């Protein structure tokens, strides 16, 4: 990470200080960060979580978050011994779900994201996304994106439950 920061400072320096500290101090085999642009649905600036334009909608939040880039770094030495399918599944989940790396330690073995927390031999790691991972991704990409967060949580958990019951 030090070499990367020195050689390509622009890809790291755009992150908040907390995230840079996390990336630099982490001993995780896989590290990542995202860059996103937040604006109103019609390009208006967002200040303090609000669009600077009046809308009469009670349904839409009028805020749009565009993921502009994702950087995922795999430390080959630390990930040695894990099956390639496991690493690919882990990286896919990180890329598509925008996972917060700081809270990732709390992930259980019911998700591919718990792979590096497991005490089992590396070769015995999960190879694919679990039913919970697939349900989360399916729900995340099937619910309406421009709703207030309190509505999103309920819709996300409902869509996950439905997906698990059907599969």
- pLDDT per residue as tens digits for the range 44-101: 776 666 665 555 555 565 666 667 778 898 989 989 999 999 999 999 999 988 887 7
Q: Are 163 and 135 in contact (CB under 8 A)?
A: yes
pLDDT band at residue 12 using 50, 70 and 90 as cut-offs: confident
pLDDT at residue 133 tops 90 = yes
The mean pLDDT of 17-24, rounded to a whole number, is: 81
- Band (136; pLDDT cuts 50, 70, 90): very high
pLDDT computed for residue 166 by the predictor: 95
DSSP letter for 57, please: -
Instruction: Look at 55-64, 82-91, 110-119, 152-161 and tell me which has the smallest mean pLDDT.
Output: 55-64
pTM for the whole structure: 0.75
If you average pLDDT over every residue of the chain, what do you get? 81
CA distances from 106 to 8, 89, 127, 153 (A): 31, 18, 20, 19
User: From residue 140, how far is each of 29, 47, 62 by CA, in Å?
Assistant: 26, 25, 18
pLDDT on residue 48: 66
What's the CA gap between 52 and 77, in Å, rounded? 48
């Amino acid at each position: 990470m030090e070499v990367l920061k020195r050689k390509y400072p622009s890809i790291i320096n755009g992150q908040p200080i907390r995230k840079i500290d996390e990336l630099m101090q982490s001993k995780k085999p896989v590290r990542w960060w995202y860059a996103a642009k937040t604006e109103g649905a019609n390009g208006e600036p967002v200040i303090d979580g609000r669009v600077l334009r009046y809308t009469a909608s009670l349904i839409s939040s009028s805020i749009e978050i565009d993921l502009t880039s994702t950087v995922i770094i795999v430390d080959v030495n630390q990930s040695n011994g894990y099956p390639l399918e496991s690493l690919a599944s882990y990286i896919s989940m990180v890329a598509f779900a925008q996972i917060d790396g700081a809270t990732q330690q709390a992930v259980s073995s019911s998700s591919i994201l718990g792979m590096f927390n497991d005490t089992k031999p590396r070769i015995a790691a999960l190879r694919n996304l679990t039913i919970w991972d697939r349900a989360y991704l399916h729900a995340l990409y099937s619910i309406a994106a421009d709703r207030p967060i309190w509505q999103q949580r309920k819709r996300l958990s409902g869509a996950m439950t439905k997906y698990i019951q059907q599969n």
